[in-house]
Structure 1
Amino acid sequence: MASATESLATTLAGVPLEHPVLNAAGTAKSHDDVARLARSAVAAVTVGSITLEPREGNAGEVYAARDGYAVNALGMPNRGAPFYREALPEMAAVAHAAGKPLIVSVAGFDPDEYGELAHLAADAGADLVELNLGCPNVWSDGSQHRIASFDPDLVARSIAAAAGAGAPLGAKLSPLSDPVLLAEVAAVLADGAARFVVTANTFPNGLVLREDGRPAIDVGFGGVSGAAMKPIALGQVAQLRAQLPDRIDLVGVGGVRRGSDVDDLLRAGACAVGAATLFWNAGEDPRSFGDLLADWVS
């Protein structure tokens, strides 16, 4: 693990970071969330994902933690573009006052929406904009929406629509288990405006059962996260690093609980790491990021 004599600093798409530990998207949606994380050990504050229209998220039980993993179907709850257009400048000011860049994650339901939201985020002061192309947990009328990052053409068109937003763009991907599909997605990323890739979002459609055999998540399925995701995240980082040009940075997400997890993702080719399940399982205590960072530098 990193020693006290080593420099902890890194950069993400040219934006300086004091160290590589970030909160992953989904852990901050409000001004209070940003203020708490700005006081924490994270090197940058990630807000979102945000959508054009407000979303309540999925109803009922949406999170189930078990030994070594969790499953969630939050459904991207957020207050929508009109709220964030007004709120993001102050969120950016709070993060910047703490010496931290602001990353804003946006989620559209077509390329034009990604473009509109990316411009909104950059205009409001975001230092980096993450296009969430990998959320598996959007349901309506009992049907699950398609995961955008499984469609290379949709990835390409979404990034093209967001190009020129005024802040470096990144793409967050769902795990790509088919190596042919991974290569196709990597090719469109290499040809487009993306400056970084976040990998991976949760593994789709995991199932947790209650003692009576019913699903613990009320919509039935959810995205798998936590320690069970670490080998998947490592594999995604290593494969994408081999496929992408050096100008595109990687953020490794999945199974980050200890300093050794940070080290492993950095060795696989990431320049930074994100954590969410660690935070949620700690009762949304921002000190969990400080504990992770301390373990990594010890």
Structure 2
Amino acid sequence: MGLCWLVTLPTRDPVRGSMSFTDTPEGFRSGFVSFVGRPNTGKSTLTNALVGEKIAITADQPETTRHPIRGLVHREDAQIIVVDTPGLHRPRTLLGERLNESVKDTYSDVDLIGLTIPATDKIGPGDRWILDAVRTAAPKTPIVGIVTKIDKASWDQVAAQLMAVHELLGGESEVVPVSSASGENIDTLAAVIAGLLPEGPKYYPDDHITDEDIETRMSELIREAALSGLKDELPHSIAVEIDEVLPDEPRPGMLTVHAIIYVERPGQKDIIMGHNNQRMGRIIHNSRQQLTKLLGKNIYLDLRIKILKNWQSDPKALNRLGF
């Protein structure tokens, strides 16, 4: 992260994306922070809370995030690029292996790592395994502890967890308690992160909130709607692809979005469709609402389901779906 990198031409890589440097005042800080932790520790919700807008989908199921998502936090004294990553886990499929590799690649290319641990969960072997993985992949990158979901815990629990996370990290590491739901301490966390970043330029204009391409955001919003209410293994078998977007159809000012939900087995298709196709109808309705909000136009959504057998372990299918 030295001066030599900062003066090179803007490039695109898994963490930094496409960037254009802008004039910044002296003493301005900027950099990349990655939130890591076990699945379902609130990383995506925290990213959205810091950015101030929904850029990462959330769901009750673990392992919802499937690729690094960059969100921008603009401050007078700093620009923070938050890289929300999939949760590290012990993989069961080729998809899981690739997700873990993308997370580890992120570690080595950020300026700060935020280890997220919920206030309601005791620190366990999984947290220690993740911390060891982080320190192995990025031994010189500072780590800040983030105790999430404090709105769901008593103050005694929060205090105990703060002490436990501080002991886990050791040294002079900062530990910040936050609630993404209520917004408590979100500004404090942003200030702590900004203070730990190096001096540097603005990487993105002030009106940017993410550099995710629009089709990826669209497919993720549809996947979020499809995940709602699902249990067991089915959520991990769902992928969404935007097939085509047609402007001014079926009438001027309207967009027609053709999209595909992929599942791995016929029985999974039946679950997604639901009794008398009622569940599919809800997915389309909820997806349309989110897509309309994102695009600022009325949407007609043509959503189909296809079976892509065992796509999570098929290299060709994973490549096709962008993993």
Q: TM-score normalised to the size of structure 2?
A: 0.33
Q: TM-score normalised to the size of structure 1?
A: 0.35
Determine which structure has more spread, i.e. the larger CA radius of gyration: 2
